[in-house]
């Protein structure tokens, strides 16, 4: 069984959305003899994380209200190496099926630094994926949309209870079919959670 780790490493120096250093993780390490205990001050949208509807919709569900089937799901990695943004036109022809957790691989995957011009999913793409009924949508940037007035991509997906997985690292993953495992922490009432996301190669035969 081949496991691809598609998670960002959590550290005080990790890349944050728009390089907002004030949101960076903070570790406090306590040592008593050989015993170490740490506290971590972690913004819930750090690194590889899932957004729940509550992130954008005050009456939306929180991260702990999702069935776990959403986060252990058949997944398709779709590559768009030349796209500047991904809309319905780009997604058509990829034969996306209902129930798949779609992961968008773009040129964002080539760099660890924050790119203010990152490739994103536009509202036409979000509508298209909602119509199909995908299990979730992930992208290789810390945001799934950029500079869209009113955050329509988030609104369209989250109002349909389609979770958004941001900050996946797909540089070393080929376009194809996998099993995605990306379990959020069980945090009561939270609008998001960091996840350890992995893709497992389909076991054939
Ligand atoms: Zn987020």
Active site residue 4: no
Gap from CA of 167 to ligand 1 centroid (Å) = 9
| Distance separating alpha carbons of residues 176 and 198, to the nearest angstrom | 14
Gap from CA of 166 to ligand 1 centroid (Å) = 6
Gap from CA of 101 to ligand 1 centroid (Å) = 17
Instruction: Please state, as a whole number, how many other Cβ atoms lie within 10 Å of the Cβ of residue 72.
Output: 15
Helix (H, G, I), strand (E, B) or coil at 104: strand
Using an 8 Å Cβ cutoff, are 158 and 52 in contact?
yes
The string of pLDDT tens digits covering residues 70-94 is 999 999 999 999 999 999 999 999 9
Residues in the chain predicted with pLDDT less than 50, given as ranges, are 205
pLDDT of residue 181: 98
- Plot region of 196 (φ>0 → left; ψ -120 to 50 → alpha; else → beta): beta
Using an 8 Å Cβ cutoff, are 98 and 134 in contact?
yes
pLDDT of residue 205: 44
60's tokens: 């939306």
| Distance separating alpha carbons of residues 101 and 103, to the nearest angstrom | 7
Gap from CA of 98 to ligand 1 centroid (Å) = 23
pLDDT of residue 203: 63
Gap from CA of 152 to ligand 1 centroid (Å) = 14
Considering the candidates 4, 49, 55, 154, report the single residue annotated as catalytic.
55
């Amino acid at each position: 069984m081949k496991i691809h780790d598609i998670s960002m490493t959590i550290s005080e120096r990790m890349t944050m959305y728009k390089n907002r250093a004030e949101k960076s993780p903070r570790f406090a390490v306590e040592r008593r003899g050989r015993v170490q205990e740490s506290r971590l001050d972690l913004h819930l949208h750090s690194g590889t994380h899932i957004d729940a509807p509550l992130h954008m919709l005050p009456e939306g569900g929180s991260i702990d209200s999702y069935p776990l089937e959403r986060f252990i799901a058949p997944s398709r990695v779709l590559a768009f190496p030349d796209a500047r943004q991904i809309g319905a036109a780009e997604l058509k022809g990829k034969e996306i099926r209902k129930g798949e957790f779609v992961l968008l691989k773009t040129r964002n995957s080539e760099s660890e630094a924050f790119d203010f011009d990152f490739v994103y999913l536009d509202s036409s793409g979000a509508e298209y994926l909602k119509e199909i009924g995908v299990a979730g949508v992930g992208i290789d940037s810390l945001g799934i949309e950029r500079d869209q007035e009113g955050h329509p991509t988030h609104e369209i997906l989250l109002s349909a209870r389609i979770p958004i997985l941001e900050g996946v690292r797909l540089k070393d993953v080929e376009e194809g079919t996998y099993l995605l495992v990306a379990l959020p922490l069980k945090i009561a009432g939270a609008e998001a959670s960091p996840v350890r996301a992995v893709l497992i190669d389909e076991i054939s035969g």
